[in-house]
Amino acid sequence: VIAGLGNPWPVPKQSRHNLGALVVEALASTLGLERDWCWHWGCLSWICWVRLGEQSESGEGVAAERGEEGECPSVRTATSVPADCHFALVLPSVPYNFSGFAVRRALDELGAQVEDLIVLHDDIDLSPGRHSLKAAGSAGGNRGVRSVQESLGTDRVRRLRLGVGRPPTGGRIPAAIMTHVLGQLEEDLLAQWCDAAQSGELAKLLEIP
């Protein structure tokens, strides 16, 4: 289960705080699944199933053919998970700092465990364009991550930290940090991660075959 943290409307979609969600959307687009998102009231999230079909001639996995346009699998209960579902992409549609509720409920609906989860989120302690994989540990002041850890009752949550850097001035002042993360995401930074999705680099980071 790959979950991308972000803020719903009215926070601008192209904000730094939405980088995790935007990268997950880029991954879905690369797999040809940008129109396959389905809304799930039970976890207040958008979920996209990823089924892997037969091997391509290059030996790389390819996304299986989608159903008819508008057709969405029902995931009201964990028993409805498709047998050929390889993994799921999840976009919580709740305020960033309260992401834990949605992520926990999504895992419940999918019949998944904490060990199956990887969370993508922005990180001010990494320079823009840098990234870091983390298997456990402190949220580092990120309230969205802290919410996920508290809701799941563990800090052993795998994460892909996506650097957005600190504000040029007042880098330790909460108000300055809030303004920074809610500010406009740099186009080249988003393009870097879209390119990573298209090239397969992101899939390798997430250990997607």
Mean pLDDT over 50-68 rounds to: 42
Q: Which of 108, 66, 107, 106 is nearest to 84 (CA)?
A: 66
Alpha helices in the chain (DSSP H): 19-30, 99-110, 143-152, 174-181, 187-199, 201-205
User: Is 40 assigned a catalytic role?
Assistant: no
* 76 touches 110 (CB < 8 A): no
Q: Is the pLDDT of residue 55 over 70?
A: no
* pTM over 0.75, yes/no: yes
What is the C-alpha separation between 101 and 56, in angstroms, rounded? 38
Encoded amino acid at 97, one letter: N
> How far from the centroid of its chain's Cα atoms is residue 18's Cα?
9
For 112-117, what is the mean pLDDT?
95
| DSSP 8-state symbol, 182 | T
pLDDT at 83: 56
Which one of 17, 121, 131, 180 is the catalytic residue?
Answer: 17
